Chain A
Amino acid sequence: MKRFTQIILSFVLIVMLTGCTDRLNLEDATLSLMVGIDLNEKNELLFYMTSPVFSREAKEKTEEYGVRASSTRESRMGFDEIVTALTVSGKIQLIVLGKRLLQHPDWFRLLDVVFRDAKFTVNARMVMLDGSLNELFEYKPKDKPRLALHLTKLIDTANKRNLTVKTRAQEFHRQMFEKGMTPHISELKKTKHAVRVMGTALLTKKGVYAGLIEPRDTVLLQMLLHGKQGEISITLPVKGPTDQNPIIKDRVSFFIKGVKKKVKTTYRDGTFHFDVQVSLRVSISERLFPFNMEKDYKKLEQMIAKQFHKDYAQLIKKCQEAKTDPFGFGLYARAYEYKEWKKVQDDWPAAFAKATVQIKPEVSIKGNGVVK
């Protein structure tokens, strides 16, 4: 009988426990899917947010607002004053940063709450917008799903074809604090009829915008960073042996089936030297000029390798001029030339700008398509 009383008593205790303090039912939450931070002309911080609205009576399926605030957390208060329910940040898919904001160093401190508050997601994709955030958040395409979902998918799929990078907040945090590399995020632009992936935005160590890598160069960057990831399709101009055709240019396209990268790091004459051996296995997918593959495939391999070499040299020069190292060569410097690295570690981008990088592509054609 004592036991019976105990059971009843503990049951009553459990029922009366107040453990529901942090409960927030789904219908009481406004899930922000995309947030944006920008500066206006008077250099005041603007925060934007868009979230889905679940109501049959509402004509629009999303709501979006912008508020003026001094910090991200403070902006939440502003949002809570206007949005339907309570703003929650656990499902943010995109953090959009305005170009104006990225021209100021140390803006990264604004994202402190993202990493400090455990309820904030660190899986949001970091995006830079070339243009006004207001325009993007107001944009309601008729032929697309909710804007935030559309952009998420846009970036994810563009990343699958290596047109842009996919940098999540956690990864961005690493890139900011890693001394041996500089951060790089996706860049979007709102055009008249669509939102367009522009490529990859290069940021300096302080987070200042330093330049754009176009999609076709992003492919090269991605290959150096991750090897073969997703589908890599490249079209290159190659000098064909025949006379010029006015409409059809001499182009060859191919899939990259495998990438092998070998970096040799040395330090001589006061600079770092990186010799990068990239061996690529390719499979031709399109060829717009006649070519005797059986006889001259070695020649084509060399032509492609040459073109690669040229493109890589350009890309690296561009990054060096912008004082950025999105490739993470600093990691190799630290691994192989630690003594010298130690001297320059606090300003690696400057040291990288002086370094010599030699990319030696080696192409072997493994496939020629299903035609003869």
Chain B
Amino acid sequence: MAMRGWLRRKKTSVKDRLSHSGEPVRVREISDQLSENIAELNAIFTLTPDLVIRTFDSRHAGGKVTLVYLTGLVDKNSINNNVLRPLLSHREGESSSIFDLLSVGKVTVVYDFQTVENDILKGSSVLFIEGRKEALVVETNGWPQRALEDPQLEASLKGAHQGFVETDSQNIALIRRYIPNRELKIKEIWVGERGDTKLSIMFLADVVNPEVLQELEDRLGRIKVDSILNTGELEEYIEDNPYSPFPQFITTERPDTTASHLLQGKIAVVVDRSPSVMIAPVSFASFFQNVDDYSIRWPVASFIRLLRYLAFIVATFLPAIYIALISFNYEVIPLDLILSIGESREKVPFPPLLEALLMELTLEMLRESGIRLPAPIGQTVGIVGGIVIGQAVVQAGIVSNIMVIVVAFTAIASFIIPNYDMSSAVRLIRFVMMVLAAMFGIVGIVVGLMALIGHLISLQSLGVPYGSPLAPVRFSDWKDLFVRLPLWKMLERPTGARTVQEKRQGDNQPEGDAK
């Protein structure tokens, strides 16, 4: 009860803080006096040394002009060449409108300081003109950016080698390159009281199910937070089942994956400042698909697909089965194997569960430590881990050989699952299964399996069943489930996203030479 109270208190305090910042700010209009405007700006941006306020004479404007911007957020070339130069080196006889002089694509006229403040903070530069009660917001955004790189988490063999970056406009462009179609629509939503994050909901208007889209919009609209820093945070606010270990949306850093999902009638949410895009609605099966599946030959792709499901089962249950077998049900182990297990366990002083937990936790630690280390040190972790796990632990008699093999198998299996979120979920479930197996043996594993299946079936992603096409059964989607049939067999879009337009392609079956 105490905990509940504490959580509730914490929640209200967030609400309080939000209402403070959310209280109506007085709207200050732009004055026609430059000095007043500058004073107002200085009042808004205190302790802001990166704010540049440059006042100069522009003969064309017929007086003084003040240019304001935040120095790191703008493109210096654009400011120098497209704003300052035309205004300073104005020659007689040219067009007299200051608006026409700015060789920048997007220039808007604003009247109040609230907008000015927002625009400056987002990297635009603002031009105040003496004697006019308005300001021009010039789009000169140019913050520090990363070059396009290979996606780190979702490397691909044959797919594109461009991953998303931290700028949403670039990311949208990357997606548009794959689907240059006017039906690719974008809805923008701003989320976050302080961070003010732009979310761009992308979808194919004639394919997507309007109810699903509306549901997503509603959920996004209900978010009241300080800021969304990353797509993962956003996910957590709009999930169907927040207590589930399973990811209910896919976050991807690959534009081609995103495009493929969009074409299946799903919705992509591009989050500004985050290099990953959220895809919804998704099913359990989509976490086992990969762009490469569609560019390698279909029998091979099917084999790899099956391998992934097998890996999921191995990674979830193998240590649990091992524990159950050697502490309850050794009758089912073949005689020769049980003798070698017995021999390898002779020196181990721990019960099987402790032995397994010890190794699994070591593995998880190695994995976690390897992620954040720079590459040169990361290698050391691998070597230390390999020697510690593979050799010393066994020789010291702390863990048995077979256990090492089991842990190694499990680790390899969990790496085969292509989606990081899903493989993390498996990591967690594995421990639950191990405890169940240690307490109830095979019966415990079966109970765990039933609970797992029950949970997976009851899950939803944006109101669409997570277990589809297995539960509910939709045989037409099985062409791309455990096996991947040839692409020309998939004449319709998968039903998982409840698309309104179903036809995907015509009859494309190659005829070959033989008629």
Contacts and interface: CB of A to CB of B under 8 A. Distances in A.
Interface string B319-335: 00000001110110001
B241 to A, nearest CB: 10
B330 A26 contact: yes
A22 interface: yes
B343 interface: yes
A24 interface: yes
Contacts of B348: 27
B335 A91 contact: yes
Contacts of B342: 26-27, 31, 52, 54
Interface string B416-444: 00000000000000000001001111001
A204 B328 CA distance: 39
Contacts of B330: 26, 29, 31, 88, 90-91
B326 A26 contact: yes
Nearest to A120: B331
A152 B341 CA distance: 19
Contact of A5 (B4, B347, B440): B4
Given A7-B243, A19-B444, A54-B345, A25 B327 contact: yes
Interface in B292-351: 326-328, 330-331, 335-336, 338-339, 341-343, 345-348, 351
Dominant secondary structure at the A interface: loop
A85 B346 CA distance: 13
Interface string A19-54: 110111111010101000000000000000000101
Contact of B331 (A27, A33, A52, A119): A119
Contacts of B346: 27, 54-56
A12 interface: no
B8 interface: yes
A91 B331 contact: yes
Nearest to A89: B331
Contacts of A3: 243
Given A25-B352, A26-B330, A93 B335 contact: yes
B371 interface: no
Nearest to B326: A26
Given A1-B4, A1-B7, A26-B326, A19 B335 contact: no
Interface residues of A, number: 31
Contacts, number: 68
Interface string A80-99: 00000000101101000000
A60 to B, nearest CB: 14
Contacts of B438: 20
A26 to B, nearest CB: 4
Dominant secondary structure at the B interface: helix
A119 B441 CA distance: 15
A149 interface: yes
A19 B331 contact: no
A15 B435 CA distance: 9
B329 to A, nearest CB: 9
B316 to A, nearest CB: 18
A71 interface: no
A17 B439 CA distance: 8
A95 to B, nearest CB: 15
A229 interface: no
A121 interface: yes
Interface string B136-147: 000000000000
A319 B451 CA distance: 59
Contacts of A88: 330
A23 B345 contact: no
Contacts of A152: 335
Contacts of A55: 346
B328 A22 contact: yes
B345 A27 contact: yes
Interface in B249-265: none
Contacts of A54: 342-343, 345-346
A175 B53 CA distance: 104
B428 to A, nearest CB: 13
Contacts of B435: 15
A23 B441 contact: yes
A17 B348 CA distance: 26
Nearest to A2: B4
Nearest to B11: A1
Contacts of A20: 438-440
Contacts of A119: 331
Interface string A179-212: 0000000000000000000000000000000000
Nearest to B441: A23
B7 A23 contact: no
Interface string A116-159: 00010100000000000000000000000000010010000000
A24 B439 contact: no
A1 B11 CA distance: 12
B339 to A, nearest CB: 6
A26 B327 contact: yes
Nearest to B351: A25
Contacts of B339: 52, 149
A54 B326 CA distance: 14
Nearest to B343: A54
Contacts of B341: 26
A91 B441 contact: no
A90 B341 CA distance: 16
A229 B7 CA distance: 72
B331 A23 contact: no
A23 B441 CA distance: 8
A291 to B, nearest CB: 46
B271 to A, nearest CB: 27
B439 A149 contact: no
Given A1-B4, A19-B444, A24 B331 contact: no
Contacts of B343: 54
A92 to B, nearest CB: 10
Contacts of B439: 14, 17, 19-20
B484 to A, nearest CB: 37
A17 B4 CA distance: 25
Nearest to A152: B335
A25 B437 CA distance: 12
A205 B270 CA distance: 82
Contacts of A19: 439-440, 444
Nearest to B346: A54
B322 to A, nearest CB: 11
Given A7-B243, A25-B326, A31-B342, A121 B7 contact: no
A7 to B, nearest CB: 7
A23 B243 contact: no
A115 to B, nearest CB: 15
A26 B325 CA distance: 9
A5 to B, nearest CB: 7
Chain A CB within 10 A, most for which of B348, B439, B444: B439
B285 to A, nearest CB: 27
Contacts of B8: 1
B326 to A, nearest CB: 4
A55 B346 CA distance: 6
Contacts of A29: 330
Nearest to A5: B4
Contact of A56 (B331, B347, B352): B347
Interface of A: 1, 3-5, 7, 14-15, 17, 19-20, 22-27, 29, 31, 33, 52, 54-56, 88, 90-91, 93, 119, 121, 149, 152
Ranked 5 nearest A-B pairs via Cβ: A90-B331, A54-B346, A54-B342, A26-B326, A19-B440
Given A24-B327, A55-B346, A90-B330, 17 more contacts: A4-B7, A5-B4, A15-B435, A17-B439, A24-B328, A25-B352, A26-B326, A26-B330, A26-B352, A29-B330, A31-B330, A52-B339, A52-B342, A54-B342, A54-B343, A91-B330, A119-B331
5 contacts: A1-B4, A26-B352, A31-B338, A33-B335, A54-B342
